[in-house]
Amino acid sequence: MPYPNHLPHYLKSFFSLSLQLHLRSLHHTTAMNGNRISTVIFDLDGTLLNTEQVTKDLLKEFLVRYGKVVDMEKENKRLGMIHHESAIAIVKDYDLPITPQQYSQSIMPMYHEKWLHAKSLPGVNRLLKHLHNHGVPFALASNSISKNVQVKVSSQKGWKEYFSVILGSDQVKSGKPSPDLFLEAANKLGVDASCCLVIEDSLVGIKAGKAAKMQVVAVPSIQSESDQYSIADYIIHSFLDFKPELWGLPPFDDWVMKALPIEPIRFNGLYKNGFLQQLSDNAALDLPGQVWGVFFGWAEFASHSQNRLKIVVSINWDCRHGSFTRIIEACFINGSNEQNYDEQMEVTLVGYIRGFNTKQNPSRGAQILDQDKSTAEACFNLAAYRYQGCNHP
């Protein structure tokens, strides 16, 4: 709705703000079906923690003992299943000469060791602290059994105190895709299901949330299958894209100079002609699939680590040629972008500028803009974005 050009500036600002608030209220009414979201229920593995990433190669290592090769198409479909069901399917699919119970007894100690190295995914701690600080109760509902859930949660600082309710699949009649976990979480929180927002990374979990008659936000952990998540009410690339105000929850107010300070994201890459190719011989050190958008930070080349460079990167997934490929465009602020370095570098990302929607057009909005460079350059001297070292822990 346009407003007359002759209006004073302060009236234009007031009119614009009023219109935004009105449209926001209309959006809330539609998105929440008339119900105010009062609590959030999170999945754990692949949603809050990169447990699936740090255990990615375990099945491969286990199957080698029996001369078998992992079928990733089958494993991706098992994402989010309870372990008991997954064990039965794995023994059957790979024709293993052991029982599901023997499989579990052999592989679970390997999982326990890896879980201790799991890290929260980008933006997760920010959201948990934000909800906690604003008195918004939230629960954890995982398809893992409660004993394993406790192991994973206990390794994350402050998490046990943050969650009002923590549930495992052995505490209800049926795990996901049954709605039992989410309904029990709502019951323990003392809220109606229609007032709950579920955040999930797997199709199994999304189906469970919808079966519970709850609003569902999908944060796909397998980007190649994100088009199957359309049954969710909303899809985001990462928690850095999550906007609480869309659900009637308190908005974030932590952006600094048009950018967001983030927990450092570290990776190794090979720079050549404006792009970075990620290098890693350890899946646990790979960039999580949920890292999308334009970031900035610091880079060091292995051959001359004393020369620290400021870098802006655009990270997205390209699916135009039938397969999902991560594309990392890179631009140096205080170095030559014309030079063909063709050598390994260590990158520490400390700030997030913006996301983009690659669903309609993979290349749309993914290029690094002059505005992105200007934003990054203005931030580098601020304490919130200080250099934090590029070496992996």
Evaluate whether 241 touches 260 at the Cβ level (below 8 Å): no
What burial class does residue 21 get, using C-beta atoms within 10 Å of its C-beta: 0-12 exposed, 13-18 middle, 19+ buried? exposed
Structure tokens at 362: 């993979």
DSSP 8-class letter at 148: H
Interacting residues of 274 by C-beta distance below 8 A, sequence separation 6+: 329, 330, 331, 337
Choose the catalytic residue: 57, 170, 263, 329: 329
245 is catalytic: no
Please, what's the b/e burial string for 223-242 (b: 16 or more CB within 10 A of its CB; e: otherwise)? beebeebeebbbbbbbbbbb
DSSP states of 245-297: GGGTSPPP---BTTBEEEEEEEEEEEEETTEEEEE-S-GGGSPPTT--EEEEE
Residues 6+ apart with CB under 8 A from 243: 251, 252
**Contact yes or no for 29/184 (Cβ under 8 A):** no
How far apart, in whole angstroms, are the C-alpha atoms of residue 301 and residue 343? 7
45 noted as active-site residue: yes
Residue 272, strand partner residues: 275
Return the amino acid letter for 43: D
Per annotation, catalytic residue among 45, 75, 184, 241? 45
CB 207 within 8 A of CB 187: no
254 is catalytic: no
* Phi, psi for 58 (deg, rounded to 5): -65, -45
Residues belonging to the active site: 43, 45, 329
